[in-house]
């Protein structure tokens, strides 16, 4: 559906994007994740034919954005960061205008209108001027104009921009409902939005794609060492001296884990990152160079401890993101 | 689709004039000043001079030409700059329409609204027609001139508004170009040939306007205004094309 080869964009001598190359299959929902100013909007606007790439080839459904922009525009629905609504028009008038300008006949627009308004849940405001709408409704109207002509590719640039938490949840639900009928590209610097709605992620930094894949794949790539979270119910006399001393029991369990070949680090409860688990259990974080779940479990049991749970530690997207862009804490 | 897109944009823009206070304010100011100046300069000249009906009509058309130019600048400066500022231009830029279709639709809507304002001034020449001796042809030629000069200044305004996202900057650029083209006429008379003839050929008023004022239609003048309109619309299209891909 989308095929980019070495696409760059320069503003004067300043490189805003690229070179970037990637492909997106029909029906996928792909998220572009990156901090503000890394080139997400530039990239999406090139695909929407609102910006000319400085070099490279960008194809949408086989049509080049430079040599066949009209064919590309017919196939693309674009929601910019600020919805492009005329504030003096009512919602229905505006959507009629948007549909007509995208090449639909008046009859086609009239037939499509109820479905679009229903789908984006703007039926109740259809006769209200868009200038009187809340930001949430305006954003939905923006989505409605993007899908009115039934584009194959839907490009949403920061679709939850400026929305409150309830509106963000509604927008996510709406995007999920559109996944069946469109290939969707979403940009955001808000991590949950991307991870909860997209099949695949492309992470941009400084105008380049630094990683791509599913959240899990990105986690695997970035955190090559395997981290386990092991909840252990300590043996009653783990240290063998009969007094049941807890500190000694913890140390004994740690030693048992550390002896496992391949373990590169164990965080014990007093250390940052290790915390008490369920009643009577202590959770260790175990770093290793491969999947060591079986070996760690065996070592603990053999040394007299009960393993209550053993999981690969969750690799949140935020950690992936921080690792890739090498910066921290500027997203929501 | 080409003309259809132009028609869709024309309707949106024309309705925007009718919905916004801006359109009514421009119309009210133009009609008020036209009316006052008509009374002061055409019906009751300050020096007590007695004017023939045709001269009074000519003086009215002279006044109206200036007011039409001012109204054209005021109506045109929002056409692209405002859309660029509010982000709605992105809707047009990412839709399958060409820049010239967008600009032609906007130009025609502004011309239609300006023509409405111009038509609303008709009661003044009608007063002269009823009470004096002038021909309907003189009025028609005069109003054709007003439409042509209005269209030319609208095209200049459209060129200016395509350049920027700031309406004030667009107003300044449009006023500068229009003012310069007006002032070329007195300048032409001051400097004499060969530059004088060159300036006279370029001026938007004076030489090309006088015929309409006295009720004489010269093809040369019509062609001048149409050519100037085309030139500035063409320039505006090129600016839009360049900016669309910026």
Q: Domain A2-222: which topology?
A: Rossmann fold (3.40.50)
A131 contacts in chain B (CB < 8 Å): none
Give me the total of CB pairs closer than 8 Å, taking one residue from chain A and one from chain B: 59
B246 contacts in chain A (CB < 8 Å): 51-52
| Polymer length in residues for chain A | 332
* Nearest C-alpha in B relative to A102: B95
Structure tokens at B135: 């021909």
For residues A142 and A83, the answer to whether their CB atoms sit within 8 Å is: yes
- List where CATH 3.30.70.100 sits in chain A: 226-312
Report d(CA B81, CA B153) in Å as an integer: 17
Specify the 3-state DSSP secondary structure of A232.
Answer: strand
- CB-based contacts of A311: which residues, under 8 Å, 6+ apart? A228, A229
Q: Would the CB atoms of A84 and B20 count as touching at under 8 Å?
A: no
For residues A16 and A45, the answer to whether their CB atoms sit within 8 Å is: no
Output the pLDDT for position A135: 87
Specify the 3-state DSSP secondary structure of B158.
Answer: helix
Nearest to A198 by CA among A31, A57, A62, A51: A31
Specify the 3-state DSSP secondary structure of B8.
Answer: helix
Pairing assessment for the beta strands A153-157 and A55-60 based on DSSP bridges = unpaired
B88: nearest CB among A71, A73, A85: A85
Q: Which of A78-87, B34-43, B211-220 bottoms out in mean pLDDT, i.e. has the lowest?
A: B34-43
Percentage above 90 pLDDT, chain A = 30
What is the H or E stretch that residue B130 is in?
helix B123-131
Output the pLDDT for position B245: 64
Report d(CA A198, CA A213) in Å as an integer: 10
> Residues B98-117: what's their mean pLDDT?
95
Query: Is cis: bond before A307, omega within 30 of 0?
Result: no
CATH code: domain A226-312 is 3.30.70.100
For chain B, give the mean pLDDT: 91
Neighbours of B222 (CB within 10 A): 16
- Helices B136-163 and B167-191 pack at an angle, to 10 degrees, of 130
Q: Would the CB atoms of B8 and A97 count as touching at under 8 Å?
A: yes
Output the pLDDT for position A328: 44
- List where CATH 3.40.50.300 sits in chain A: 2-222
The confidence band for A219, taking pLDDT boundaries of 50, 70 and 90, is low
The one-character DSSP state at A123 is G
Q: In the predicted model, is pLDDT for residue A327 greater than 90?
A: no
Neighbours of B94 (CB within 10 A): 27
Residue position matching structure tokens 């360049």: B242
Residues facing A307 on adjacent strands? A232
For residues A203 and A317, the answer to whether their CB atoms sit within 8 Å is: no
- CB-based contacts of A127: which residues, under 8 Å, 6+ apart? A90, A91, A92
For residues A142 and A161, the answer to whether their CB atoms sit within 8 Å is: no
For chain A, give the mean pLDDT: 83
Q: Would the CB atoms of A80 and B20 count as touching at under 8 Å?
A: no
Q: Which of A174-188, A255-269, A314-328, B24-38 bottoms out in mean pLDDT, i.e. has the lowest?
A: A314-328
Output the pLDDT for position A237: 53
Q: Under an 8 Å CB criterion, which residues of A touch B?
A: 48-52, 70-71, 73-74, 76, 78, 80, 82-89, 97-98, 100-103, 145
Report d(CA A89, CA A83) in Å as an integer: 14
The one-character DSSP state at B204 is S
Q: Would the CB atoms of B94 and A73 count as touching at under 8 Å?
A: yes
B88: nearest CB among A76, A84, A103: A84
For residues A209 and A20, the answer to whether their CB atoms sit within 8 Å is: yes
The confidence band for A331, taking pLDDT boundaries of 50, 70 and 90, is very low
CA distances from A101 to A116, A312, B69, B167 (A): 16, 52, 31, 25
Report d(CA A72, CA A102) in Å as an integer: 11
Q: Under an 8 Å CB criterion, which residues of B touch A?
A: 1, 4-5, 8-9, 12, 16, 19-20, 86-97, 244-246
pLDDT one-digit tens code per residue, B141-180: 999 999 999 999 999 999 999 999 999 999 999 999 999 9
Burial class of B153 by CB neighbour count within 10 A (0 to 12, 13 to 18, 19+)? buried
B92: nearest CB among A76, A88, A101: A101
A82 contacts in chain B (CB < 8 Å): 87
pLDDT one-digit tens code per residue, A94-105: 999 999 999 999
Q: Sketch the domain layout of chain B as residue ranges.
A: 2-244
Q: Would the CB atoms of B12 and A86 count as touching at under 8 Å?
A: yes
Helix-strand-coil percent breakdown of chain A, rounded to 5?
35, 30, 35
User: Which site among A80, A101, A102, A139 would you substitute to test the B interface, given the most B Cβ atoms closer than 10 Å to its Cβ?
Assistant: A101
pTM, to two decimals: 0.80
Work out the minimum CA distance from B60 to partner chain A, whole angstroms. 36
Q: Would the CB atoms of B9 and A101 count as touching at under 8 Å?
A: yes
Helix-strand-coil percent breakdown of chain B, rounded to 5?
85, 0, 15
User: Which site among B15, B22, B94, B244 would you substitute to test the A interface, given the most A Cβ atoms closer than 10 Å to its Cβ?
Assistant: B94
Alpha-carbon radius of gyration of chain A: 26
* Nearest C-alpha in B relative to A149: B95
The confidence band for A165, taking pLDDT boundaries of 50, 70 and 90, is confident
pLDDT one-digit tens code per residue, A245-277: 777 888 888 888 888 888 888 887 554 444 555
pLDDT one-digit tens code per residue, A39-72: 889 999 999 998 889 999 999 999 999 899 989 9
For residues A65 and A123, the answer to whether their CB atoms sit within 8 Å is: no
Backbone angles phi, psi at A306, to 5 degrees: -95, 135
Structure tokens at A105: 């006949």
Output the pLDDT for position A286: 87
Q: In the predicted model, is pLDDT for residue A3 greater than 60?
A: yes
Work out the minimum CA distance from A16 to partner chain B, whole angstroms. 12
A50 contacts in chain B (CB < 8 Å): 90, 93-94, 244
Q: Give me the DSSP letters along A14-38.
A: EEEEEEEEEEE-TT-EEEEE--TTS
ipTM here: 0.87
CA distances from A284 to A238, A247, A260, B115 (A): 16, 14, 14, 81
Output the pLDDT for position B134: 87
A47 contacts in chain B (CB < 8 Å): none
Q: In the predicted model, is pLDDT for residue B246 greater than 80?
A: no
Q: Would the CB atoms of B245 and A88 count as touching at under 8 Å?
A: no
B90: nearest CB among A52, A80, A101: A80
**Residues A18, A23, A28: CA angle, nearest 5 degrees:** 125
Report d(CA B142, CA A149) in Å as an integer: 46
A48 contacts in chain B (CB < 8 Å): 94
Q: Would the CB atoms of B90 and A87 count as touching at under 8 Å?
A: no
Q: Would the CB atoms of A102 and B95 count as touching at under 8 Å?
A: yes
Q: Write b or e for each residue in A56-94: b if 16 or more Cβ atoms lie within 10 A of its Cβ, otherwise e.
A: bebbbbebebeebbebbbbbbbbbbbbbbbbebbbbbbb
């Amino acid at each position: 559906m989308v095929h980019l080869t070495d696409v760059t964009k320069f503003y004067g001598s300043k490189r805003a994007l690229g070179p970037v190359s990637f492909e997106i299959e029909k029906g996928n929902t792909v998220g572009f994740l990156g901090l503000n100013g890394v080139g997400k909007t530039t990239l999406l606007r090139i695909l929407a034919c609102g910006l000319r790439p400085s070099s490279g080839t960008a194809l949408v459904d086989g049509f080049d954005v430079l040599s066949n922009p009209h064919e590309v525009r017919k196939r693309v629905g674009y929601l910019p960061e600020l919805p492009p609504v005329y504030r003096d028009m009512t919602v229905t008038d505006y959507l009629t205008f948007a549909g007509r300008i995208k090449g639909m006949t008046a009859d086609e627009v009239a037939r499509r209108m109820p479905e679009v308004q229903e789908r984006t849940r703007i039926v109740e405001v259809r006769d209200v001027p868009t200038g009187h709408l809340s930001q949430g409704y305006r954003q939905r109207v923006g989505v409605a104009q993007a899908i009115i002509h039934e584009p194959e590719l839907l490009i949403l640039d920061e679709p939850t921009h400026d929305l409150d938490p309830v509106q963000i949840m509604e927008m996510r639900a709406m995007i999920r409902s559109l996944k069946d009928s469109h290939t969707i590209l979403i940009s955001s610097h808000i991590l949950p939005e991307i991870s909860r709605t997209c099949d695949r992620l492309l992470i941009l930094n400084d105008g380049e794609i630094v990683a791509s894949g599913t959240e899990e794949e990105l986690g695997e790539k970035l955190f090559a060492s395997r981290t386990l979270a092991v909840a252990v119910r300590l043996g009653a006399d783990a240290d063998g001296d009969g007094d049941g001393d807890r500190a000694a029991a913890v140390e004994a369990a740690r030693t048992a884990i550390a002896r496992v070949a391949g373990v590169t680090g164990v965080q014990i409860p007093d250390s940052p990152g290790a915390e008490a688990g369920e009643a009577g259990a202590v959770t260790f974080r175990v770093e290793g160079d491969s999947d060591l779940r079986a070996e760690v479990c065996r070592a603990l049991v053999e040394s007299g401890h009960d393993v209550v749970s053993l999981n690969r530690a969750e690799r949140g997207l935020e950690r992936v993101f921080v690792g890739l862009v090498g910066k921290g804490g500027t997203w929501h | 689709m080409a003309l259809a897109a132009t028609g869709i944009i024309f309707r949106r823009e024309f309705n925007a004039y009718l919905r916004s206070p801006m359109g009514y304010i421009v119309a009210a100011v133009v009609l008020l000043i036209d009316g006052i100046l008509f009374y002061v300069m055409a019906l009751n000249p300050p020096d007590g001079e007695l004017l023939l009906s045709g001269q009074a009509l000519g003086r009215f058309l002279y006044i109206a030409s200036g007011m039409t130019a001012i109204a054209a600048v005021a109506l045109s400066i929002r056409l692209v700059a405002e859309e660029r500022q509010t982000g709605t231009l992105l809707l047009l830029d990412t839709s399958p329409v060409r820049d010239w279709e967008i600009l032609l639709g906007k130009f025609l809507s502004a011309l239609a609204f300006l023509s409405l304002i111009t038509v609303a001034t008709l009661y003044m020449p009608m007063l002269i027609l009823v009470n004096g001796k002038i021909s309907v042809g003189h009025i028609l030629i005069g109003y054709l001139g007003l439409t042509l000069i209005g269209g030319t200044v609208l095209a200049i305004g459209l060129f200016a508004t395509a350049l920027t996202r700031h309406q004030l900057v667009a107003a300044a650029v449009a006023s500068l170009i229009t003012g310069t083209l007006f002032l070329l006429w007195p300048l032409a008379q001051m400097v004499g040939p060969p530059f004088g003839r060159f300036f006279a050929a370029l001026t938007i008023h004076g030489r090309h306007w006088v015929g309409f004022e006295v009720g004489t239609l010269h093809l040369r003048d019509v062609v001048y205004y149409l050519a100037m309109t085309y030139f500035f619309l063409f320039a505006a299209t090129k600016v839009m094309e360049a900016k669309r891909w910026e």
